[in-house]
Structure 1
Amino acid sequence: MKSASIVIPTYNRPAELEACLRSILGQSVAPLEVIVVDDGNLAQVPLAPDFETRGIRLVLHRKDRPGLTESRNVGATLARGDVILYLDDDTVLFADYVEQLLAVYEHRDVGGVGGIIDNPKPMRLPHHIRYLYDLVFLNRGLREGRVLPSGFCTDFGTTWFPVRETREADFVDGGVSSFRREIFADMRFTERYREFGLGEDKDFSIRVARRYGLAVTPNARLLHHESPKMRPDKRLWGRKFVLGRYLFFRDHVRTKWWSWLAFAWALAGYLLARTIIAALSLRRDEFRRVAGILGAARDIALGRISLSKADNREDGA
C-alpha cells in the first residue's frame, strides 16, 4: 500500500487540532508523516511524544503569509509520502479513514481521491423545499460531486442521493481530499481565489479530474466538528462565494453564449433565495450576505473582474 503524508492547515485552534491528531494516532494504517502548517501561534504540536512512539514523523511548519491556499501548497512541498491527504483541523477521522483512501489508489488509476463527511447537517422540511428550489435554478443537481452547466456544484451531503459506492467525481472537498504527490510537480492550488473568491479546492480538484481522473469513496469517512471560532464576515463571504463561482464557471464550464444564461439564471436564483432567508429571519448578518452577493453581481456585470484564464497557474513556479 502507498505511503501517506497528512497535511493539516491550522490557525489558533489547539483543542480541535488535538482531537484531529488523536484520531490519526488511532488509524488502522498509520501515515508516514503528519505536517501541521500553522498560521497562528502554536507553541508545539499536541501529542508529539505519541507520534514519536508510533514512529510517525511529525512536522510543524510556521509561515508568515497566512491563508489556506498557501498552507496547502507549502504542505505539498514538504511532503514525502506517495499520497498527500489534506485535513481541516476540526475533523475527527474514522479509524480506517487513511486505509480506505489508500485502497482506492491500489485499484484505480486516478490522481486524487476524496472521502465523505459523515455528519452533514440533517435535511428537514425547509431544506427539502430549498433543494427543490435549487434544482429549478441550477444551484444543485441530482448527483453529488458533479458540476452543473451553470458553474454551480452539487456538494456532498446536500441531496436526496448521497454517495453509496466509490465512483468518479468532478471535484472533492478540500478537507477530505487526497492527491498523488507526483501531480504537484506541475500543479498547485491557485492563489487567485485568495483575493477574489472561495473555491480553490474545487478549482484544483476539477483540474486533477480532467487531467488524471478523480474518485470519491464513501468508505473513507470523518466527522467535521465545525469550530465556532473564525466565523467569517457574511458580507465578504457572500461576495467571495459568488466571485468564486464566477471564476470557476469562466475557467472550467463556459462553452457557448448560452452558458452565460445558465450562470445568470443560477445567480439570480441564489440571490433570491438568500434575500428570502434574510427577510424571514430579519438577521442583520443575512442582510449583509445579500449585500455582498449584490456587490459581486454588480462587479461581474460591469466587467470589473478582469482576470484572464492565464492567471490560473497550474505550474509549480
Structure 2
Amino acid sequence: MISVDVLIPTMNRLQSLIMTLSGVALQSRTDLGVIVADQSDEPATRSEVVRSLCKLIEARGNRVCWYHRKERCGIAEQRDFLLRVSSADAVLYLDDDVIMESWVVEKMANVLEEQGCAFVGAFPTQPTYIDDVRPHQQHIEYWVSRVRPEIVNPGDPEWHRATLHTAANLFHVAQGLGLPPGDVRLYKVSWIGACVMYDRRKLLEIGGFSFWRRLPRKLVGEDALVQNILMRLWGGCGIVPSGTYFAEVPSNFPDQYRSRDHHALMLLPEMIKTHAPHTPMPKPDAWKYW
C-alpha cells in the first residue's frame, strides 16, 4: 500500500477550510500525513473548531503538520513548499474549499498504484448546480484499459474536455452510470484541479512546481502546466463519481489574473523541450486557448 500525504494550501478561507478538514477527518484511510500551509492573516489554528478537527484527524491514526507562512509568493510557491516538506509515495493536493466523501483518498491511491500513471483527479461538483442539467456539456471519454501517456495541447479538440468540469456535469454523468457503491470509472482529461493525487517521484522528476520563481505571484494554471508534461510521460486520469464537492466560496484569484501573462502555461514550450522533447509542441497561436 502506497503512503499518502494530503497537502492543503490555505489563505483567509476559514469556513471552507473547516469543511475541507471535516472531509479529511472522516476518510476511511487512517494512515495519512496531513500537511497544511496557512498564509491567512489570522492563523486558522486560532479557531477552536480547527483545533478540534486536527485532534480528531490525529486520533484516527493520521498525522497533522501545520505551517504558518507569513510571506506570500503565490499558489505555485505554496504547492512547491508543500511538495518539499512531504515524504509520502503519493501527494494529494486538496484545495481549501473542497469536501471529500469518506472513500475518496483510498480509491485515488488505489487507482494511482494500479494504473502506474502520474496523477488521478477527483473534480468537485458545485452543489448549487445539481438541478441544472447540461447534456451538451457532458461528453466524456473513458479509459477502456490502462491509463496511457497522452498528448493534449492547448487548441487541440481534446483540450475542451475541461468543459465537463463545470457546474454539476460530472455529478450528472455519475448518476447516469448507475455504478455500485465504491466503484469508479476512469476518464481522460486535459487537466484537472482542486483535488489531485500525484505520484510524488514522477512529479519531482519534472521539477514539481519549482518554476514559480519565473512567473508573477498572482498566477493561475500551475496544475495544468505540470499535468500536461506528466500526461506526455506517464498519463493521468479523473475518476467518476468523484465524491467531492465545492464550498462555492469566492476565489482568491480575480479575473484580472487569468490573462496569458499570468498563466503558467506560457512556460509549456520550454517544459516540453526539457522534459518531453520527443512529443509535439503546441501550435504557435495556442496561447489564445489558455
Query: Does the 8 A contact of 1:69 with 1:194 survive in 2?
Result: no
Q: Deviations over 1:136-195 (max 9, x none)?
A: xxxxx955798455275531424978586213434221x111111222443212314444
Q: Which residue is 1:37 aligned to? A: 37
Report the 3-state secondary structure (helix = DSSP H, G, I; strand = E; otherwise coil) of the residue aligned with 1:18: helix
Query: Does the 8 A contact of 1:10 with 1:88 survive in 2?
Result: yes
Q: Which residue is 1:14 aligned to? A: 14
Q: Distance in 1 between matches of 2:285 and 2:15?
A: 46
Report the 3-state secondary structure (helix = DSSP H, G, I; strand = E; otherwise coil) of the residue aligned with 2:107: helix
Query: Does the 8 A contact of 1:23 with 1:93 survive in 2?
Result: yes
- Give yes or no for the alignment of 1:166 onto 2:186: yes
Q: 1:80 to 1:220 in 2, by over 3 A?
A: farther
Q: Which residue is 1:64 aligned to? A: 70
- Give yes or no for the alignment of 1:244 onto 2:234: no
Structure 1 counterpart of 2:259, which letter?
R
Q: 1:52 to 1:211 in 2, by over 3 A?
A: same
Q: Which residue is 1:179 aligned to? A: 198
Q: 1:262 to 1:102 in 2, by over 3 A?
A: closer
- Give yes or no for the alignment of 1:205 onto 2:212: no
Q: 1:54 to 1:76 in 2, by over 3 A?
A: same
- Give yes or no for the alignment of 1:227 onto 2:237: no
Q: Which residue is 1:81 aligned to? A: 88
Q: Which residue is 2:275 aligned to? A: none
- Give yes or no for the alignment of 1:217 onto 2:236: no
Unaligned runs of 5+ in 2: 143-150, 178-184, 273-278
Q: Which residue is 2:4 aligned to? A: 4
Q: Deviations over 1:94-114 (max 9, x none)?
A: 111111101202321111111
Percent of aligned pairs with the same amino acid = 22
Q: Distance in 2 between matches of 1:81 and 1:154?
A: 30
Unaligned runs of 5+ in 1: 132-140, 268-317
Structure 2 counterpart of 1:188, which letter?
G
What does 1:240-279 correspond to in 2, within 5 Å? 244=263, 247=266, 250=269, 255=281, 259-260=283-284
- Give yes or no for the alignment of 1:91 onto 2:91: no
Q: Distance in 2 between matches of 1:183 and 1:96?
A: 24
Q: Which residue is 2:54 aligned to? A: 48
- Give yes or no for the alignment of 1:112 onto 2:119: yes
Structure 2 counterpart of 1:150, which letter?
G
Query: Does the 8 A contact of 1:33 with 1:57 survive in 2?
Result: yes
Q: Which residue is 1:150 aligned to? A: 155
- Give yes or no for the alignment of 1:100 onto 2:120: no
Report the 3-state secondary structure (helix = DSSP H, G, I; strand = E; otherwise coil) of the residue aligned with 2:248: coil
Structure 2 counterpart of 1:111, which letter?
A
Q: In the TM superposition, what is the alpha-carbon distance from 1:43 to its structure 2 partner? A: 5.0
Q: Distance in 1 between matches of 2:249 and 2:132?
A: 22
Query: Does the 8 A contact of 2:5 with 2:35 survive in 1?
Result: yes
Q: Distance in 2 between matches of 1:97 and 1:75?
A: 21
Report the 3-state secondary structure (helix = DSSP H, G, I; strand = E; otherwise coil) of the residue aligned with 2:196: strand
Q: In the TM superposition, what is the alpha-carbon distance from 1:201 to its structure 2 partner? A: 0.6
Q: Distance in 2 between matches of 1:24 and 1:153?
A: 31
Report the 3-state secondary structure (helix = DSSP H, G, I; strand = E; otherwise coil) of the residue aligned with 1:64: coil
Query: Does the 8 A contact of 1:24 with 1:30 survive in 2?
Result: no
Q: Which residue is 1:315 aligned to? A: none
Report the 3-state secondary structure (helix = DSSP H, G, I; strand = E; otherwise coil) of the residue aligned with 1:166: strand
Q: Distance in 2 between matches of 1:70 and 1:220?
A: 27
Q: 1:153 to 1:70 in 2, by over 3 A?
A: farther
Query: Does the 8 A contact of 2:122 with 2:195 survive in 1?
Result: yes
Q: 1:118 to 1:238 in 2, by over 3 A?
A: closer
Q: 1:254 to 1:19 in 2, by over 3 A?
A: same
Taking structure 1 as the reference length, what is the TM-score of the superposition? Answer: 0.66
Q: Distance in 2 between matches of 1:9 and 1:75?
A: 8
Larger Rg: 1
Q: Distance in 2 between matches of 1:75 and 1:167?
A: 27
Q: In the TM superposition, what is the alpha-carbon distance from 1:246 to its structure 2 partner? A: 6.3
- Segment of structure 1 superposing worse, 177-186 or 160-169: 160-169
Cα RMSD (Å): 3.5
Q: In the TM superposition, what is the alpha-carbon distance from 1:7 to its structure 2 partner? A: 0.4
